[in-house]
């Protein structure tokens, strides 16, 4: 089951690590933990185990909020690969990539909150 508060804390940790663009290692680590926490929560509901962040297949019958979270995680995973490399931490490309990733993290935070509120209501 998704633990929304833990996932939101992980997102905040990624944002914090991105503030010090010299720390590519910390950024990679926190991004990895964030994706792994969210994906494990999604997979647990399906009886699956995830050992490392990966591209998840969407389950057609899953709630719209779960599909949106899955899509965002997949997108973040793909788009963050170049941000997680040491050589990218100090250049303009990193800053541009971070701006796009930060926007996706905001969408992910919103999707997690909507999903949590539906779970509480339902």
pLDDT by 10s per residue, the chain, length 122? 678 999 999 999 999 988 876 777 788 899 999 999 999 999 988 888 999 999 998 888 888 999 999 999 999 999 888 776 655 555 677 778 888 999 999 999 999 999 998 887 76
Query: So what's the pLDDT on residue 114?
Result: 93
Q: Which pLDDT does position 86 carry in this prediction?
A: 55
* Collapsed DSSP state (helix, strand, coil) of residue 109: helix
Q: Where are the domains of the chain?
A: 4-121
Question: How confident is the model at residue 37, as a pLDDT?
Answer: 95
**pLDDT tens string 39-50:** 999 998 888 899
Q: 63 by DSSP, 3-state: which?
A: coil
Rg, Å, the chain Cα set? 14
Q: Global pTM?
A: 0.86
3-state secondary structure the chain: CCCHHHHHHHHHHHHHHHHCCCCHHHHHHHHHHHHHHHHHHHHHCCCCCCCCCCCCCCCCCCCHHHHHHHHHHHHHHHHCCHHHCHHHCCCHHHHHHHHHHHHHHHHHHHHHHHHHHHHHHC
Contact 118, 49 (CB under 8 A): no
Q: What is the pLDDT of residue 51?
A: 94
């Amino acid at each position: 089951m998704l633990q929304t508060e833990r996932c939101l804390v992980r997102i905040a940790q990624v944002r914090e690590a991105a503030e010090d663009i010299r720390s590519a290692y910390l950024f990679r680590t926190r991004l990895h933990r964030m994706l792994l926490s969210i994906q494990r929560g999604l997979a647990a509901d399906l009886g699956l185990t995830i050992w490392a962040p990966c591209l998840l297949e969407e389950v057609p019958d899953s709630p719209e909020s779960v599909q949106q979270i899955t899509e965002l995680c997949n997108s973040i995973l793909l788009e963050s690969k170049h941000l997680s490399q040491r050589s990218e931490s100090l250049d303009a490309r990193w800053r541009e990539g971070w701006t796009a990733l930060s926007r996706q993290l905001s969408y992910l935070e919103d999707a997690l909150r909507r999903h949590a509120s539906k779970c509480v209501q339902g």
